[in-house]
Structure 1
Amino acid sequence: MDGVAVRVRVRGPQDGTPVLLVHGIGRSLEDWRDAQDRLAADFRVISMDLPGFGLTPKLRAKPGLPTFARAVIGVLDGLGERRPVHLMGNSLGGAVSMTAATTHPDRVASLVLVNSAGFGREANLPLLPMLYGVLSALPVLGARFRPLARDAGLALNQALFADPAFATAELVRHAAKVGRQPDFRATFVGTLLTLGAPVAGSFPGWRRALLAAVGKAGKPVMVVWGDRDTVLPVRHYHAAVAALPHARSHLFPNTGHMPQIERVEEFTALAKDFVTTCAMIES
């Protein structure tokens, strides 16, 4: 897309109902790996790195919801997938998915919003680990900040889950690798600045406009959340249910910011039922 090779992972039968999975800010397609493998028993499932995150370089365009939504459609085009796709987005990926559904309604069949951005002001994001990461890269003083960067990175990944054991050594190592990607910091900061500001939190304007557009689009929606999310707290779930009164909804107990990892079996069962029901209505 725009001369940039977007990293994707495709599983499941070619003729299966198409599903596309979108990760959150600063993350990668690995956040969907186990859920993707389970969903692929029934559907054609695509996961992708948003440009500038994961292991994919950034695009020339400014990072933000419109650019990321365009990248989602670009991936579908690149794979030759012209059927309406069922989008599942976690955190920032939920807002990206909603944007794609409103800007390209003919390409989107339904939305599964997983602890999605767009429903409240608060967003507890990992600025301290980023700062330590920058300091640890300094040529002379960097060595003394590297232990702090490692500890902050571990704490950050543990905070994504109600059970910190889900922050496995493999997950933490990959998150650190993603954070060292050359375009990561510029994409992270650039994305944040389009959505909100320190202290002020998420700007209400884009949230109101996006939710109004989603309501008008009339796509089937399912909202799921973890009740112990420390990034986008559970009050956002209740705001989402109020804003999208016709959506299916499910609140996972004792679960953090990524139910698709922490409650993978229960999540995929819900998602399979939702997509299957939507596909039956379409046909």
Structure 2
Amino acid sequence: MTVALPPADDRAVDGRRMRCRITGDGPPVLLLHGIGRTLDDFTALHTALARDHRVLAVDLPGHGGSAPLDGTHTLPALAAAVAGFLDAAGVTGPAHLVGNSLGGAVAMRLAVDAPHRAASLALLNSAGFGQEVTVALRLLAVPPLARLLLRPHPAIARRTERAIFVDPAYVTEERIAAALAVARQPHAARVMRELVRDLGTWRGVRPQWRAELLDAVAALDLPILLVWGDRDLILPAAHLGYARSRLPRARSHLFRDTGHMPQIERTAEVEGLLRDLWTGDPAG
């Protein structure tokens, strides 16, 4: 099996490489992936939206082909690096922020820390709405288990991909190869451990950062969309109910027979929900 990331571009941000893909013309859209993932989780949605938007997807620092930060990888540090990436890409005004999993929390942090950068906020199976998280991520808070689970091994990569999707047809050899390429980066395990320690413990996601962030997001005057898959094994769909209670003005949608990445399993439907949000279409 060839172990390599798909081709992409890059930008230099504070002297560090950030792997990215930027296509299309029109209002800017920023796509942010989850922990241990890459911008390739948005390939199909990226292509669809780029018909009439300038779409920017980026590997978060220490993920995929992006260099790690000099300091510790935390949620605020990731959001600050993304802001630097937008500057490097020439996007200084508001963009539509779309985040999946950890990327949703990064998008929220960015919108709170720099409100002028956010035109809207779309959160797809986002972190930040509950303590419950897959046991695999909780075990990463235990150092001996983290060393075992973060080994770049084909069986681990295949099992991880299988947990993300309801339909096993999405667990392709290409996705497994990309996951191995990510895991084999020399800094990958360290970055994962730092983020897991920042965001949670073996008991689950920490409540302190979630409460502070959600209070701040609720105070923003932004169009917000909440999307979940009803069979998410990473962040359970019950989180959507809590998200609705904390962000009562947000639009929301629950997909049936869908896992942790609706942007892959329900690309066309997610595109429609995003376009409704951006145009203010009440049918959304």
Same fold by TM-score, threshold 0.5 exceeded? yes
What are the within-5 Å matches in structure 2 for residues 9-48 of structure 1?
9-13=21-25, 16-48=26-58
For each residue in 1:119-168, what CA deviation from the matched residue of structure 2 results, as whole angstroms up to 9, or x when unmatched?
A: 0001114557962553x7xxxxxxxxxxxx32222111011011121111
Partner of 2:112: 102
Distance 2:149 2:246 in 1: 38
* TM-superposed deviation, 1:276: 2.8
1:65 paired residue among 75, 80, 92:
75
1:78 paired residue among 84, 88, 95:
88
1:212 has 2:215 as partner: yes
SS at match of 2:64: coil
For each residue in 1:21-61, what CA deviation from the matched residue of structure 2 results, as whole angstroms up to 9, or x when unmatched?
A: 00000000000011000010121100000000111110112
1:164 has 2:168 as partner: yes
Tell me, which stretches of 5 or more residues in structure 2 are unaligned?
A: 1-12
Q: Is the helix fraction higher in 1 or 2? A: 1
Percent of paired sites with the same residue:
46
1:187 has 2:191 as partner: yes
Q: CA, structure 1 residues 236+244, in 2 after alignment: closer, same or farther (shift >3 Å)?
A: same
CA contact (8 A) 1:64 1:191 kept: yes
Partner of 1:173: 177
Task: Supply the RMSD in Å over aligned alpha carbons.
Answer: 1.5
Moved over 6 A (4+): none
1:8 paired residue among 9, 20, 26:
20
SS at match of 1:56: coil
SS at match of 1:47: strand
What are the within-5 Å matches in structure 2 for residues 213-232 of structure 1?
213-232=216-235
Tell me, which stretches of 5 or more residues in structure 1 are unaligned?
A: 137-148, 279-283
CA contact (8 A) 2:263 2:270 kept: yes
Q: CA, structure 1 residues 224+130, in 2 after alignment: closer, same or farther (shift >3 Å)?
A: farther
SS at match of 1:112: strand
CA contact (8 A) 2:228 2:237 kept: yes
CA contact (8 A) 2:223 2:277 kept: no
CA contact (8 A) 1:129 1:153 kept: no
